[in-house]
Structure 1
């Protein structure tokens, strides 16, 4: 299980372009093996090197940490966008002077109360462990990552410009507020880049206006355009703006709500069952496979709900709510709910 999580984490750190290249390389080596080119033991060596390279990514993260002579520090929320940012900076040849800080906590889900204290982080981890499948492996390093986050912020040199990036979703918006709060003790200038606005300005077809909710939706070329055209002074956070966002973070971190959404320019706490009716409606719209006795794979239900949700949400949270619907007697289950791929559900028939 831990190895599976390590693989998932390594893949999540890749940019879209790097992930495609890795997949293409793996497929080429598999084709070579399939067609009998060379000895099997020789043919597997490139695949092993690819695997070792991906798993070894955490060892390379240090090259992105703030250093005394860096000119900019980019603060991003989530490994997916971090991978895209690294790729864009490397393509521009800026990686020596532009460094990166990544916030990885799943801010949209789980209680945030007291998260800036060891006791609060422990309580948060326990909630995630008790409600989110595989959380014991996925979030076991939250404490270590928080301490490293504080160290990275302290490493920011006084002269560096800090750029905080955020998208139109609760995960990034809450994370952005946390970042601004943690930067409160630094005298650096802080600029705020909204990737929703950037995408609509630089990546939308003149005939079709696209909607961007997540920073990860920006293409690498668009991100490079944004970086080359960046003028931090145009998006500079004034002291009043920084103070307001820090206060908004304090308000978020005083509440024990398990779920947050992004609505009308605000991070809002909503009931834990916010997505339940939506999940049931999504289930009703799926045609069960022949011979399934009406059961539908939980992974299919969650995948479809995740893909069409108006909010940028967390598939693991949706899976937690599917299990809660089973416990509440609204769904029947077949299989073992150890993970979404292991069981199926259907509406409980009314007697």
Structure 2
């Protein structure tokens, strides 16, 4: 009985087209099984075993769908779909929607990647996604754990966007940083002109306007810093004034194409635009941070990499992410500017100091 209820739940998650797709797969496998059985006169041999395995795989894939769609379960009366950057902001958005009682009619699509870093060229193609994935595998510790994870992330995103009901209003959340502004332009590029319309909201700006006073103020660098209680107030202020017109959609899509043609793997938000900068843009900034920080006594001048990265992250006016700063620390080690003590398998496992014989500093200006 328990297994039949699980099967019923899995089938109920399917949309009409998916039901047809799974039925075609099952019937094709059964047809092949029937043909093999007739040829082998009922003898269970290896080909039959392979066909049975295929049916089991379809079963397993179908049974795993409810878990995969825990945060995405579109219903006929779905009114809004929120495209949300990052894990932290997604968690806050879920809590805020539940707190308002909107969880059934407001759904979430998460932009999982940090679009401020890594190549974005030809992201619409498998070759472009592989190039991005390879860059992360080669430079960012623990960012992707599978050689095809970037492909899976993009495929999942496309799947979610294609499932958006026609009547649903799409709300894309963004703020003043390269990660979210690039994500906005990518989302608009992928969505095009949705019948339900596209609204752009900046929760950081709204929260600063609502809650900042001369006595106490917070300047948010990314949406993930906003707690769910404040986000509820932001959600209550969604209105059509920020709905994108056709020319706005065309402009943002055009800007995405420009960004995706850039050669560098680092972007910042500057003067209302996503701007590419060289990979070593923050190297001098990291070195100056290291010079100002006081290493623990008795550690021969070495400072934990995690502390250096944490200080750099906390004082930077851009939202880049700790993974990129850690990557640049390792590059400074490889280039001989820094010395290392420990193993650079994670930030907490190694310390750094200036190369004692004297190295050549990055020529980038302080930012």
TM-score normalized by the length of structure 2 = 0.77
Question: Contact 1:65–1:100 at 8 Å: present in 2 too?
Answer: no
What CA distance in whole angstroms lies between the structure 1 residues aligned with 2:277 and 2:251?
A: 22
Structure 1 portions without partners, runs of 5+: 1-55
Aligned to 1:276: 283
CA pair 139-224 structure 1, distance change in 2 beyond 3 A:
farther
Q: Which has the larger radius of gyration?
A: 2
Aligned to 1:97: 105
Aligned to 1:131: 139
Question: Per-residue deviation at 1:274?
Answer: 0.6
The DSSP-based 3-state class of the residue aligned with 1:144 is helix
Q: Please point out which of 134, 143, 156 is paired with 1:148.
A: 156
The DSSP-based 3-state class of the residue aligned with 1:64 is coil
CA pair 138-217 structure 1, distance change in 2 beyond 3 A:
farther
Within-5 A mapping of 1:15-164 = 59=67, 61-137=69-145, 140-164=148-172
Within-5 A mapping of 1:162-181 = 162-181=170-189
Question: Per-residue deviation at 1:61?
Answer: 4.4
Q: Please point out which of 318, 327, 333 is paired with 1:320.
A: 327
CA pair 205-72 structure 1, distance change in 2 beyond 3 A:
same
Question: Per-residue deviation at 1:229?
Answer: 2.5
Aligned to 1:35: none
Q: Please point out which of 197, 201, 207 is paired with 1:193.
A: 201
Question: Per-residue deviation at 1:181?
Answer: 0.8
Question: Per-residue deviation at 1:62?
Answer: 2.9
User: Could you give the per-residue CA deviations for residues 287-342 of structure 1, whole angstroms, max 9, x where no partner exists?
Assistant: 11111000111111111111111111111111110011111111111111111111
What CA distance in whole angstroms lies between the structure 1 residues aligned with 2:75 and 2:162?
A: 10
1:294 has 2:294 as partner: no
Question: Contact 1:74–1:165 at 8 Å: present in 2 too?
Answer: yes
Q: Please point out which of 210, 219, 241 is paired with 1:211.
A: 219
What CA distance in whole angstroms lies between the structure 1 residues aligned with 2:69 and 2:281?
A: 37
Question: Per-residue deviation at 1:219?
Answer: 2.3
The DSSP-based 3-state class of the residue aligned with 2:155 is helix
Aligned to 1:12: none
What CA distance in whole angstroms lies between the structure 1 residues aligned with 2:97 and 2:289?
A: 40
1:244 has 2:251 as partner: yes
Question: Per-residue deviation at 1:256?
Answer: 2.4
Question: Contact 2:177–2:268 at 8 Å: present in 1 too?
Answer: yes
Question: Contact 2:193–2:249 at 8 Å: present in 1 too?
Answer: no
Alignment: residue pair count: 294
Q: Please point out which of 280, 303, 314 is paired with 1:307.
A: 314
What CA distance in whole angstroms lies between the structure 1 residues aligned with 2:237 and 2:174?
A: 17
1:260 has 2:267 as partner: yes
Aligned to 1:223: 231
What CA distance in whole angstroms lies between the structure 2 residues aligned with 1:202 and 1:138?
A: 42
Query: Considering only aligned residues, what root-mean-square deviation do their CA atoms show, in Å?
Result: 1.8
What CA distance in whole angstroms lies between the structure 2 residues aligned with 1:252 and 1:275?
A: 20
Question: Per-residue deviation at 1:158?
Answer: 0.9
Structure 2 portions without partners, runs of 5+: 1-63, 359-367
Question: Contact 2:201–2:238 at 8 Å: present in 1 too?
Answer: no
